[in-house]
């Protein structure tokens, strides 16, 4: 899957999530922290981080599953480790498990200094084409 193959619409477009590379073994994306993504205390809203985990994990799962069908998220667990107020974050999804009916992806989100900001796991169900 090429980065341009991903339909960048909806919430991902609003958040500014940019897929920079995508294969069935790893997906990378960036998001730049902007004032409209901050919560009232001036920190990046945790929902943004959860959404980034959902996006990169889903794109990775879809890239790996390929023409066999589609994937849908069934569980998203994201831990917030470091507060962020500005800068560009990089998210990397790597597989933990890729099976017949489901996949589990680990997603690390780091700041520009390579510090871990959030760590998530996304489980997706594999939906085989009829």
Residues designated catalytic:
54
How many CB atoms within 10 Å of residue 46?
A: 13
Cα torsion 130, 63, 19, 72 to 10°: value is 40
Dihedral of alpha carbons 30, 2, 73, 26, sign: negative
Strand partners, 126: 71
CA distances from 23 to 5, 29, 31, 58, 66 (A): 11, 12, 19, 12, 10
């Amino acid at each position: 899957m090429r980065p341009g193959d991903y339909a960048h619409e909806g919430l991902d477009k609003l958040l500014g999530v940019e897929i920079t590379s995508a294969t069935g073994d790893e997906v990378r994306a960036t998001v730049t922290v902007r004032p409209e993504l901050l919560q009232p205390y001036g920190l990046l809203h945790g929902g943004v981080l959860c959404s980034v985990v959902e996006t990169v994990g889903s794109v990775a799962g879809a890239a790996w599953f390929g023409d066999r069908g589609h994937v849908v998220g069934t569980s998203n667990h994201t831990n917030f480790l470091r507060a962020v107020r500005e800068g560009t974050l990089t998210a990397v999804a790597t597989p933990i498990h890729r099976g017949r009916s489901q996949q589990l992806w680990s997603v690390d989100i780091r700041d520009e200094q390579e510090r871990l900001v959030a760590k998530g796991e996304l489980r997706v169900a594999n939906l085989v084409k009829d």
